[in-house]
Amino acid sequence: MKKALITDRVHQRLIEGLEEMGYNVDYEPTIALNGVHELIESYEGIVINSKVKMYKELIDKSVNLKWIARLGSGLEIIDIPYAESKGIAVMNSPEGNRNAVAEHCLGMLLALCNNIMTADREVRQFQWNREANRGIELEGKTIGIIGFGQMGSAFAAKLSSWALDVVVYDKFKQLSFEEHRNITAVSESEVWSQADIISIHLPYNDETHHLVDKAKIDRCKNGVIIINSSRGAIVHTEDLVEALESGKVGGACLDVYENEKPNTYTEQEKKLYSRLFEMNHVILSPHVAGWTKESLYKIADTLVNKVRCVIAD
């Protein structure tokens, strides 16, 4: 019987779906990368998340592998050209968590603009600071979206009926928004210069590494708000922190970070992140923008359908 290995937590829908396709499924959500290296040669399919990197060394050991399924969207953990050169199909599942990401970004932005986190802490401490917590409205603002794939388009859809303007840039797409009165395709430079709020929805690669740096921030409006739910290293953390401290950036909503393992921080990183974490004009979450109960199922269902198409070819 053909075998599939699942290396992270998934909804039962994925296990049952693979079994319906004739796979003997080994569900090992706590398996470490070295364990995958030891077992991979016996599997026809593998389901991975960020802890398993499907690079050349592991692919070379995957002598029976027919497909790699990525939970979520980021494909930087897979050497796609090398996998495909070996006849291995690669698939991801951004359709499964795009709505979760869009809702999370909007929630973080509303919390930031309305001082909800600060106000909540103060009320719990019997402080009643109404004027200090006067918020700002999104109505009339310009929101810029860089990257119009599954996540960026889902975020734009949430904003399409709001009384605000959305400007969008995607390097790889010809965009037209004739059906949406408040969404416009613009150049990248126009996003940086026009937007009051900029949301990043890009894959991580050499080209996007530290895309948001001092030079880009300096081109923005004073007080711009930066949202990043894609990959942490797309934003140069030190440049962002300095811009937040100077007031050039008026606030930030961050779900992702350059280093997402606090127990591995260097002394320099501890100091840098301590500066960031002490700020009241940032909203922070631990890489959970696409992490909902609903997306757990939808990601599983998406991959079941994609695997079925792959093995049917």
- Please list the active-site residues: 231, 260, 287
Residue 126 burial class via C-beta count within 10 angstroms: exposed 0-12, middle 13-18, buried 19 and up: exposed
CA distance 309 to 125: 56
AA identity, residue 126: F
Q: Which of 158, 141, 160, 184 is nearest to 106 (CA)?
A: 158
CA distance 83 to 65: 9
Phi (first) and psi of residue 72, to 5 degrees: 95, -150
Radius of gyration of the chain (CA): 21
AA identity, residue 33: L
CA angle, 238 as apex, 53 and 205 as ends, to 5°? 30
